[in-house]
Each structure stands twice: as C-alpha cells, then as structure tokens.
Amino acid sequence: MEKRILGLDPGLASLGYGAISCHVVPGKKEENTVSLIDCGVIKTTPKQEMGQRLKTIYDDLHEVIEQIKPDLAIAEKLFFYKMGNTILVAQARGVLTLVLAQCGVPLFEFTPAQIKKALTGRGNADKSEVQEAVARELELGYIPKPDDAADALAVALTGWYDDDICPKKIPLETVQI
C-alpha cells in the first residue's frame, strides 16, 4: 500500500514543500519503506504586491499538488515569535489551507517541537540535527537544500512516523485465525 505525503513549511517569502512516498507492507514492519518524491520551495519577493505574492503561492501550490498527487498534507503549526512575521506567515498559511481544501487533500499539523522530537528524539534539537535525520531517513547521502525544503521533508516524515496518520499495523478485522 502506497501513501504520498506532502510536507509543507509555511512562509511568505519561501514556502517549502517536500513529498515522500510511503510503502506499508501489513504485518511486515521491516519491509515498510519511505522515499523522496520531490522537494523545493515556492518563492515570492517583497518587491511584489501582497496580493500577487499570495497568488503566486496559490498557483504554484496547485501545480505542486497536481504533479505529486498527495494523499494527505502535513504542515508545521504556526509558531508565534515575531508578530510582524507571524502575520505574513499566517496569510501564506491561509492560502495553503485553501488550496489543500480545494484539491481535497486532508491537512494535519505538528508543532516544531513535535517534528524535532519525531526525527531526533529531542524536542529541542537544532536545525542541523533535523536535517541530518532527514538525509539519513530518506537515504539521500546529502542534506536537501534549500533549508525550507529540508524542513518540509522533516514535516512529511513526522506524518509517516505517526501511526494515527499513516497506520502500519494490520487492522484486527483483517487477521484470519
């Protein structure tokens, strides 16, 4: 069984995306695999008018979803640290949420600490530890660039690790005695 997960790292200047393919073999945990489909960023510039920046995110995210055809999306929950930046990220996040709803892609969210803990075992891990974990888990041999794309892959992997979002056990009703 294959599940495609689209990870999203919301931002106005740079919205990171990372898509993974998860293969689950019921009853054979050692055969479960995850692999990279694609990653990148949707960029806008401060020189653009705000409406145009949001339209770029809207159009480009539609294109990413059309190409990847994800079963679900995972986004990093909005983190409040600088009020001005938070408002800009919230606007981009609103567009992201709209596009996913229009495309019928369910959205799940994790906090930055949950993502760090899922990948490194520690909720306060630094960025380099998370990026190294992404490269290791996807067997890449390199750290994906730019950072926003690597962060989006970390978000997607967090969805893969969550058994509620991506079940890896055999449902009891399918077990034959």
As a whole number of angstroms, the distance between CA 70 and CA 4 comes to 5
What are 88's two structure tokens?
A: 């800009």
| Secondary structure of residue 56 in the 3-state scheme | helix
Bridge partner list, 108: 74
Count Cβ atoms below 10 Å from residue 28 Cβ, excluding itself. Answer: 10
- The structure tokens 């606007």 sit at 91
Determine which one of 9, 60, 137, 151 is catalytic: 9
- The structure tokens 């490194």 sit at 120
| 76 is a catalytic site residue | yes
Closest C-alpha among 127, 130, 152, 143 to residue 40: 152
What's the per-residue H, E or C state across 77-111?
A: CCCCCCHHHHHHHHHHHHHHHHHHHHHCCCEEEEC
Count Cβ atoms below 10 Å from residue 155 Cβ, excluding itself. Answer: 32
Determine which one of 71, 126, 137, 148 is catalytic: 148
Determine which one of 30, 38, 59, 76 is catalytic: 76
Q: Which residues are catalytic?
A: 9, 76, 148
